[in-house]
């Protein structure tokens, strides 16, 4: 039986400072160092935080009403200090509107709680960043 908790992606170098990442379902995305339009790893971290919480909030609120607009901005500061390179001050800002009417009113009322629930319990990505996780680096030299 497969381990249902395991998540994995593979990364393949496609050129100088450019890479293709694939998931097990066949999806792919390009990563670069910031010299072109490819997303950088830091931008992907911010996108992962925004995307993870967006899914949670969307699931919870759209049960009441479909949003008329749903936008999130995820930002932070990349710093270099005695702890090395890392991000600080990560903020996720929601701009969500719902239609007029009872369903929209219910969705609007639920929105702050949905965001809080995602942040405090549901979003695996932001919870992992918030709590910290061990990262092991392994080498298989060829």
Give the list of residues 6+ apart from residue 132 with CB closer than 8 angstroms, or none. none
End-to-end C-alpha distance for the chain, whole angstroms: 31
Residue 141 pLDDT:
80
Q: pTM of the entire structure?
A: 0.91
> What is the predicted pLDDT for the residue at 31?
97
Mean pLDDT per 10-residue section of the chain, whose length is 142 residues: 85 95 95 94 97 98 98 97 96 98 98 98 96 93 76
* Cβ atoms of 87 and 77 closer than 8 Å: yes
What is residue 53's three-state secondary structure? Answer: helix
């Amino acid at each position: 039986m497969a381990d249902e908790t395991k998540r994995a992606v593979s990364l393949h170098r496609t050129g100088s400072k450019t890479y293709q990442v694939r998931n097990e379902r066949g999806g792919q995305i390009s990563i670069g160092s910031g010299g072109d339009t490819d997303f950088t790893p830091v931008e992907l971290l911010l996108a992962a935080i925004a995307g993870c919480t967006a899914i949670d909030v969307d699931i919870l609120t759209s049960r009441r009403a479909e949003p008329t607009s749903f936008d999130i901005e995820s930002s932070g500061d990349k710093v270099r200090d005695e702890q090395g390179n890392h991000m600080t001050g990560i903020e996720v800002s929601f701009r969500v509107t719902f239609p007029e009417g009872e369903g929209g009113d219910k969705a609007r009322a639920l929105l702050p709680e949905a965001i809080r629930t995602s942040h405090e319990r549901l979003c695996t990505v932001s919870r992992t960043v918030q709590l910290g996780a061990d990262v092991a680096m392994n080498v298989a030299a060829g």
